[in-house]
């Protein structure tokens, strides 16, 4: 089994969207809960979810934790659910321990400001060469503890902010 850990490269580029907490009036969306002091750190873990609830985008989250759910296929964020201004502040997306088996090609493409993507401890067997297209600001990617055997050679081509470390187990 191939295990991959990708480490963060220290390089911050300015975010064009206004992501200040004072800019948005928010209340934590149900069925999730939010951490203080920033209610825009949204936790929907262990909620029995099979997809991302539309209510999550009302807070314009900076981090979104969907761990310990049953999201077997990641299809992306539907345009009818969230527009680009609601996605622009999302810095961290966590989908660990979610039973994730499949990720559709280009399904993270709208998350252009994402810096951390955690997909560890799932059942992913393959990743398409276009899986991470659009994630040019991504600094940390954790795809460890999946069932990956091989990866397409070009899968990391657009991820210029990553430093790649391979570990075989």
Summarize pLDDT for 39-95 with one digit per residue, the tens: 789 999 999 999 999 989 888 899 999 999 999 999 999 888 899 988 999 999 999
Asked if residue 169 is part of any domain, the answer here is: yes
| pLDDT in the model for residue 14 | 38
Asked if residue 163 is part of any domain, the answer here is: yes
Which whole-number Å values give the CA distances from 107 to 13, 31, 73, in the listed order?
A: 23, 24, 10
**Which domain covers residue 136, as residue numbers?**
1-12+25-169
Asked if residue 20 is part of any domain, the answer here is: no
| pLDDT in the model for residue 30 | 84
Asked if residue 103 is part of any domain, the answer here is: yes
| pLDDT in the model for residue 45 | 94
Mean residue pLDDT across the chain: 84
Encoded tokens for 120: 């560890």
Whole-angstrom distance, CA of residue 108 vs CA of residue 162: 16
Asked if residue 19 is part of any domain, the answer here is: no
Asked if residue 84 is part of any domain, the answer here is: yes
Confidence of residue 21 (pLDDT cuts 50, 70, 90): low
Report whether pLDDT(102) > 60. yes
Q: What's the mean pLDDT in 141-147?
A: 94
Asked if residue 18 is part of any domain, the answer here is: no
Asked if residue 67 is part of any domain, the answer here is: yes
| pLDDT in the model for residue 58 | 86
- Count: domains in the chain: 1
Sign of the four-CA dihedral 142, 147, 149, 153: negative
Residue 38, domain CATH? 3.80.10.10
Which whole-number Å values give the CA distances from 29 to 39, 56, 133, 143, in the listed order?
A: 10, 6, 29, 28
């Amino acid at each position: 089994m191939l295990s991959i850990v990708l480490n963060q490269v220290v390089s911050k580029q300015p975010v064009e969207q206004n992501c200040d907490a004072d800019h948005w009036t928010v209340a934590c969306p149900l069925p999730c809960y939010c951490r203080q002091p920033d209610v825009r750190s949204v936790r929907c873990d262990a909620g029995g979810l099979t997809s991302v609830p539309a209510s999550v985008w009302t807070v314009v989250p900076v981090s979104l934790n969907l761990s310990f759910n049953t999201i077997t296929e990641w299809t992306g964020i539907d345009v009818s659910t969230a527009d680009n201004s609601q996605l622009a502040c999302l810095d961290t997306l966590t989908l660990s321990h979610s039973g994730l088996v499949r990720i559709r090609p280009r399904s993270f493409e709208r998350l252009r400001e994402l810096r951390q993507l955690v997909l560890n401890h799932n059942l992913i067997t393959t990743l398409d060469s276009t899986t991470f297209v659009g994630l040019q600001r991504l600094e940390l990617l954790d795809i460890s503890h999946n069932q990956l055997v091989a990866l397409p050679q070009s899968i990391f081509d657009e991820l210029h902010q990553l430093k790649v470390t391979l570990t075989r187990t």
